[in-house]
């Protein structure tokens, strides 16, 4: 997929972003990308909060600690994404943006959105299972691991921004 196609995909996800090519708009684009991604993660957390309420309504409290742990991890991920350092002088401040690193960043960000969609699907599998069933425990376990992996992956984003051209 070309860099232009990747930008088009990002614009479909986040309408109105200017793109990373214009160094003046690059920081705002980066912020818009991160805010949209953080919003998706926060929505997944809200979905899990609904699951916690559902379990409380049926008086099945056995899985609440696991759901609390995942919700806390999602909250931490959303905040990490929202408040990630801005500036990225290594990629955005130089005259003539490094297109190779820009393509890596764009690909990475698109991958993060795909991963967030996978987390959403895992949250749905938690919802689709019921109560303290083995199926729900399994779904929660898979989601817990996926949330950890998402956090680890996002933490490597800075490496692309800091890389020396």
Task: Quote the pLDDT of residue 96.
Answer: 56
pLDDT tens, the chain, 165 aa long? 787 787 778 777 887 665 665 555 677 788 889 999 999 999 999 999 999 999 999 998 999 999 999 999 999 999 999 998 764 555 555 555 677 888 888 899 999 999 999 999 999 999 999 766 899 999 999 999 999 999 999 999 988 877 765
Tell the burial category of 61 from Cβ atoms under 10 Å away from its Cβ (0-12, 13-18, 19+): exposed
DSSP-derived secondary structure letter, 165: -
The answer to whether 81 and 151 are in contact (CB under 8 A) is no
- DSSP string covering 67-110, please? HHHHHHHHHHHHHHHHT-----HHHHSSSS--HHHHHHHHHHHH
Give the chain's domain count. Answer: 1
| Residues of the domain holding 152 | 3-162
Burial (Cβ within 10 Å: 0-12, 13-18, ≥19) of residue 10: buried
Q: pTM, whole model, 2 decimals? A: 0.86
pLDDT at 136: 93
CA distances from 3 to 6, 88, 127 (A): 5, 20, 37
């Amino acid at each position: 997929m070309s860099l232009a196609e990747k930008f088009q995909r990002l614009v479909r996800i986040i309408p109105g972003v200017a793109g990373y090519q214009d160094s003046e708009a690059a920081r705002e684009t980066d912020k818009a990308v991160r805010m949209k991604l953080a919003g998706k993660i926060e929505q997944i957390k809200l979905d899990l909060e609904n699951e916690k309420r559902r379990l409380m309504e049926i008086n099945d409290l056995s899985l609440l600690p696991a759901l609390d742990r995942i919700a806390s991890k999602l909250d931490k991920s959303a905040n990490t994404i929202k408040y990630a350092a801005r500036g990225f002088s290594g990629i955005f401040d130089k005259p003539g943006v490094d297109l190779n690193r820009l393509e890596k960043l764009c690909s990475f960000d698109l991958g993060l959105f795909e991963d967030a969609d996978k987390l959403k699907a895992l949250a749905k599998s938690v919802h689709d299972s019921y109560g303290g069933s083995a199926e729900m425990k399994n779904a929660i376990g898979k989601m817990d691991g996926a949330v950890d992996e998402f956090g680890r992956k996002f933490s490597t984003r800075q490496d692309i921004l800091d890389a020396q051209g």
